[in-house]
Amino acid sequence: MHTPEILLLGGPDSGKTHFAGQLYGRLKRNPGLLELRDTPADLTALEEVLHCLENGHAAEHTSAGTWTDVLLPLRDNHGNELDLRWPDYGGEQLLTIFTERQVTEAWRSQLRLADGWLLLIRLKKETTYPDALKELANRSSDGNGTTARAGNWDGNARWVELLQILLHVAGQSTVAHLEQPRLAVLLSCYDELAVDDLLPSQVLAKNLPLVSAFIDSIWKPSAISIWGLSALGCLLEKNSDNENFINQGPEHQGWVVNPDGHKDADLSRPLAWLLGVE
């Protein structure tokens, strides 16, 4: 049986750590389309995140140099068994790929094997420059003749450039529309955005139009889905003491907004879509 490989792509402060912990809590205590079929071998990192949330405060972010694989043995609601490898790494590694144009062997292997990419973008943290030409001139150097850091790039340009690098390393041609790897984009911390009645795809197009257009030009429509994600449902701080999380349990907090705009408490739905479980 083929073992599905999903690659999680998220920069620093993208909500990746909390989503991983909350997903594990859902699978363990409040499953939806997917559930755990066995006890995973080593879930120390996810247990630590869940423990923080159970006490009503935010978890520590994954350190920059971390790379570990978490194996989640899953079963869908039709009895089909899946093994999901969930990579846990510091989000700064994506920025390093972008700035240094180099990919480690661990990343190269994951990119080439992955059946699906799960891309987390926190729009509130993305900087864009409407007057692009003026800003590009101002940001062409840092005053010492060196290239500006990744954090100074327009979010549109940075994500498009990074996706092109990742596709190249994965051996994917951009001549024809891609069917593999499937791409699910999660607009993380969705609760902090003013989205009105827009669909998640429209929210992405409004905030990062070049990223939206690039994705539409590379992937087949059937191989893309755009979701809103609020892994916690609200803002938690490291020193907060949120009674809802303590009293109700983190497994009853957080939600996704489906591509059609409907809110759903099942955080596993984007993964289920990537794995072809409907």
CATH of the domain at 235: 3.40.50.300
Range with the lowest mean pLDDT among 76-85, 252-261, 262-271?
A: 76-85
Range with the lowest mean pLDDT among 43-47, 75-79, 123-127, 254-258?
A: 43-47
In tens, the pLDDT along 62-96 reads 554 454 667 778 888 888 777 776 665 555 677 77
Decide if 164 is inside a domain.
yes
Decide if 190 is inside a domain.
yes
Decide if 34 is inside a domain.
yes
- Rounded Cα gap, residues 167 and 173, in angstroms: 7
Helix (H) or strand (E) holding 9: strand 6-10
Count: domains in the chain: 1
In tens, the pLDDT along 17-52 reads 888 888 888 888 888 899 888 876 667 777 787 778
Decide if 1 is inside a domain.
no
Handedness of CA 147, 150, 153, 159 (dihedral sign): positive
Decide if 236 is inside a domain.
yes
List the domain range (segments joined by +) for residue 228. 6-274
Decide if 77 is inside a domain.
yes
- Rounded Cα gap, residues 104 and 46, in angstroms: 24
Does this model's pTM top 0.75? My answer is yes
Range with the lowest mean pLDDT among 86-95, 110-119, 191-200?
A: 86-95
Reported as a pLDDT band with limits 50, 70 and 90, residue 237 is: low
In tens, the pLDDT along 198-215 reads 999 999 999 999 999 999
Task: Please tell me whether the peptide bond between 31 and the residue prior to it is cis, using omega within 30 degrees of 0.
Answer: no
Decide if 208 is inside a domain.
yes
